[in-house]
Amino acid sequence: MESNNAEFAGSKKRGGFLACMFVFVLGAFENMGFVANTAVLVLYFKYVMQFDISASANTLTNFMGSVTLLSLLGGFISDTYLNRLYTCLVFGTMEVLALVMVTVQAYDKDLHPDPCGKSSCVEGGKAVMFYTSLCLLALGAGGVKGALPTLGGDQFDSKDLKERKLLGSYFNWYLLSTILGSMVGVTAIVWVSMNKAWYWGFFIATITALFGFIVLALGKPFYRFQPFGKSPLVRVVQVITIAVQNRKLSIPENSNELYEINYNNVDPFEEKIAHTNQFRLLDRAAILPKGTTPEAWKVCTVTQVEEVKILTRMLPIIASTIIMNTCLAQLQTFSVHQGYFMDPHLGSWKFPTASIPVIPLVFMSVLIPIYEFFVVPVARKITGHPSGITQLQRVGVGLVLSIISMAIAGVIEVKRRDQAIKNPMKPISLFWLSFQYGIFGLADMFTVVGLLEFFYKEAPSGMKSLSTCFAWLSMSFGFFLSSIFVDLINSVTKRITPSKQGWLHGDNLNENKLNLFYWFLAVLSTINFANYLFWASWYKYKKDAEDSGIGPNKSQNGLFGIREENNKEEEEF
């Protein structure tokens, strides 16, 4: 630990937005190819790898779910064993190798399956290469997503007031960098994939990712590195184990009787967290029996117990955002299929169908600077909160917008299908999809940044990467849940519909009831929003022990309250 602390101390003059520029470059160039791939993969699976509509949609959502789930692995490793930079580079190497494999399979027609009339026609050695490349790509991209945002967040010292104020801005600019890269990906690279050759699109994605990782490595002299902590999972297990061992002990009324290390013995790179009254059962882990010497696996500090309480309080927030990410999965699968049956012409120019996600990206690229430079200062004066509104309020706005997006998506699908049946030669314009995409883009802007900032700020010092990955964990469950819903809806509706056909069956979208699926998600999202309101209102923001201005009775709730600060300089900000 001493060498790690020395490395951190030697980097105190580094960091800031200069170091973040290298993070922004990788965020842009890695997403340039990754988002382009996710935009076309559902079509690549169907028309090259010979999956049917449902199987291609489920394959993509399972892949995306795996990417975001594996971000936990990257976050865990970067918290415990490797610094954030090396974690990104190791997993980045896997991602580039996987893209090479995908490019080779797309190029070699001998590696393409023949049509077979089944839901999936990939078999034998072709299947081995196909699924190996997807698994490796999911592992590499997931690991990078688990460490990269936190690498940028580490460039701002949370103990320095001025730098702490910049943290919210960092996450806004990080999102903007990924959006700018994604805009190039879903236009230029997607156009190449759909008009030249699939393998050219994958090859360009390989080159852009490789360039991004090289730039990230070149930024090493500018980075501020956090010291490694003890395994966050071990710390959690210790609290639970000792709390169970001490289950027969009485919890003292005075929290000062619980075990905590002396302020003078606190590692300067660690934080000390004040005691809270939620989840009092866990306080038993901080009871030091008389005559017992403080040792690991015998007693935990109040700070360690509070770390587990923080993670526990986060769980309902994670769960409340899963449905929104299930809605997101539809825009990357079924909405792309919708576009394939619509008129892609803008005047005389043929717009690539899979490039329709550029519409919300354009909205977001314009609105993020407006939000940062105009909305936040005004909101800050009204609420007194450094970020204008709390992170959980931002997430709430995003959830409402996602409900509206799904409701509109159902209406647009009715219009598209009716016109396709009435006059197949004159389909409606592809740009009707811009309504659902544009509104959901705004939802994503509020939710993703809100969650990243929320998990980073609330996380214990030794769990920053792992906690930030909770935003991706929610997305992972959302994508997996999408696959479950597709299969479940098909299974149920084929039994109750007069036609005995599921809402999402077969290859002909005009014979399906995709609009009903969208409205089902809108209703489910509305119920979920009510659930989110409860948990966000219940949530108590973390209180640092050194923040003497916040007592046990002054903690404000997560949705409607603003955390009280006794620091006059921060109140003025």
Contacts for 244-250: CB closer than 8 Å, 24+ residues apart: 246/284, 246/285, 246/287, 246/289, 247/284, 249/284, 249/287, 249/289
Burial 540-549 (b: 16+ CB within 10 A, else e): bbbbebeeee
215, pLDDT greater than 90: yes
What's the average model confidence in pLDDT over 103-109?
A: 90
Q: Residue 350 is inside which H or E element, if any?
A: strand 349-350
CB 342 within 8 A of CB 419: no
The answer to whether the CB of 64 falls within 8 A of the CB of 332 is yes
Helix (H) or strand (E) holding 346: strand 345-346
pLDDT confidence bin for 60, thresholds 50/70/90: confident
Task: Say whether pLDDT at 113 is over 70.
Answer: yes
Convert the pLDDT of each residue in 180-189 to its tens digit: 998 898 888 9
CA–CA separation, 490 vs 484, rounded Å? 10
| Spatial contact of 96 and 206, defined as CB atoms under 8 Å apart | yes
Which pair of structure tokens corresponds to residue 106? Answer: 């797309």
Tens of pLDDT, residue by residue over 472-486, are 788 888 888 888 888
| Alpha-helical runs (H) found in 48-109 | 53-80, 84-107
pLDDT, tens digit (0-9, with 9 covering 90-100), for 27-44: 999 989 888 887 788 888
pLDDT over threshold 90, residue 93: yes
Q: Which tops the pLDDT comparison, 299 or 119?
A: 299
Query: What pLDDT does 333 receive?
Result: 74
Q: Is the pLDDT of residue 551 over 50?
A: no
- Mind listing the pLDDT tens digit for each residue in 127-153? 899 899 999 999 999 999 888 988 888
Secondary structure of residue 251 in the 3-state scheme = coil
Of the listed ranges 302-316, 431-445, 527-541, 554-568, the least confidently predicted one is 554-568
Is a pLDDT exceeding 80 seen at residue 463? no
pLDDT at 336: 75
Residue-level pLDDT at 94? 95
The DSSP output letter for 345 is E
Q: What is the DSSP string of 405-436?
A: HHHHHHHHHHHHHHHHHH-TTSPPBGGGGHHH
Q: Is the pLDDT of residue 400 over 90?
A: yes
Average pLDDT over residues 443-462: 81
pLDDT confidence of residue 543:
60
Sign of the C-alpha dihedral, residues 382, 387, 392, 396? Answer: positive
What is the per-residue pLDDT for 209? 94
pLDDT at 212 over 90: yes
Greater confidence, 505 or 313?
A: 313
- In a 10 Å sphere around its CB, with 0-12 CB exposed, 13-18 middle and 19+ buried, how is residue 319 labelled? middle
pLDDT tens column, 385-394? 777 778 898 8
Instruction: Check: CB of residue 341 under 8 Å from CB of residue 509.
Output: yes
Average of per-residue pLDDT across 43-64 = 82
Structural domains of the chain, with CATH:
2-228+321-538 (1.20.1250.20), 232-307 (no CATH)
Q: Which of 121-125, 128-132, 514-518 has the lowest mean pLDDT?
A: 121-125
Looking at residue 563, its pLDDT comes to 40
Predicted pLDDT of residue 569: 34
Closest to 91 (Cα-Cα) out of 148, 141, 135 = 141
| pLDDT tens digits, one per residue of 69-91 | 888 888 888 877 888 899 999 99
pLDDT digits (tens, 9 = 90+) for 502-511: 777 766 778 7
Which of 260, 314, 254, 262 minimizes the C-alpha distance to 280?
A: 254
Say what the pTM is. Answer: 0.74
Cα–Cα distance between 254 and 257 in angstroms, integer?
6
Q: Provide the terminal-to-terminal Cα distance of the chain, rounded to the nearest Å.
A: 36
Name residue, tokens 């792992």: 466
Rounded Cα–Cα distance for residues 395 and 152 (Å):
21
pLDDT of residue 229: 60
Q: Which two tokens stand for residue 212?
A: 């991004």
Burial class for 263, CB neighbours closer than 10 Å (0-12, 13-18, 19+): exposed
Q: What's the CA gap between 41 and 121, in Å, rounded?
A: 16
Distances (CA, A) of 401 to 5, 425, 440: 44, 34, 6
pLDDT score of 98: 94
Note the pLDDT of residue 528: 94
What confidence tier does 570 reach under pLDDT thresholds 50, 70, 90? very low
For the chain, what percent of residues have pLDDT higher than 90? 19
pLDDT-based confidence at residue 397 (cuts at 50, 70, 90): very high
3-state secondary structure 484-498: HHHHHHHHHHHHHCC
